[in-house]
Amino acid sequence: MRVGVRLDGPRVTLRDFEPRDVDDVFRYASDPVVMRSAGWARHRTPFDSITYIQRCLSDTWGPMTFAVECRAEARVIGVVDIRVVSPLWGVGEIGYTLARGCWGRGFNVEAGELLLTFGFTRLALRRIRAVSDLDNRRSVRTMEKLGMVRERIVDRAAQRNGYRVDRVVYSIWQREWMRRQQMSEPSAPPGRARDAAPLMPACADGFG
């Protein structure tokens, strides 16, 4: 879903996809190593990437999807998204996929911090979770660096290459996120939204 918001971090910008991003998207979405745990099909041709971008910009596409742009290289290096899974209780879920050449450089954590800020401040969420294959240590480490804590392991929750794999759920509460913000950046939360239309809060009451 098109969000109409730009979120700026020190090195990356989260923004809506654009048609010119097709080559960048195909570069990482056609990589079988990247897509092994992504949860969506590997792109076989650039047409698949064109279709994907069109879907991300559609108002009927559920998740609010952001292209991750590396400003120093002026190219898209991945995708992150956030969806409201429970409007009543204010629960959201984030996901992320990053080009293999950008692994281990902190881009995923920076993009994740921007996404948490957006979810807690603009969507008024109470809790945000993320789910990963249990054996995907890079993804698990990203969730931990974002301050998320492990909730549970779901046995045989997904299928990868014909085999069932376990999944792990991490989450962070808004109050814990606010505490981390006060400790690390008391002057301002990470990220700044520009050119954004007001968004409705995800919930009015719930756990907190």
For residue 52, give the nearest of 28, 85, 84 by alpha carbon.
28
> Quick one: average pLDDT of 26-42?
90
The mean-pLDDT minimum among 33-37, 83-87, 105-109, 172-176 falls in 33-37
The span from the CA of 195 to the CA of 208, in Å, is 30
In a domain, 201, yes or no: no
Strand partners for 168: 132, 153
The answer as to whether 204 is a domain residue is no
Give strand pairing partners of 94.
Answer: 82, 130
**What is the mean pLDDT of the segment spanning 140-157?**
93
In a domain, 89, yes or no: yes
- DSSP state for residue 30 in the 8-state scheme: T
The CATH number covering residue 67 comes to 3.40.630.30
Residue 147, CB-side half-sphere exposure with 13 Å CA sphere: 19
pTM for this entry: 0.85
User: What per-residue confidence (pLDDT) applies to 156?
Assistant: 79
- pLDDT band of residue 149 (cuts 50, 70, 90) is very high
Give the chain's domain count.
1
pLDDT in tens, 195-207: 443 343 333 223 2
**47-104 pLDDT tens trace:** 999 999 999 999 887 899 999 999 999 999 999 999 999 999 999 999 999 999 999 9
In a domain, 200, yes or no: no
Domain residue limits at 101: 6-187
Calpha distance 90→87 (Å, rounded): 5
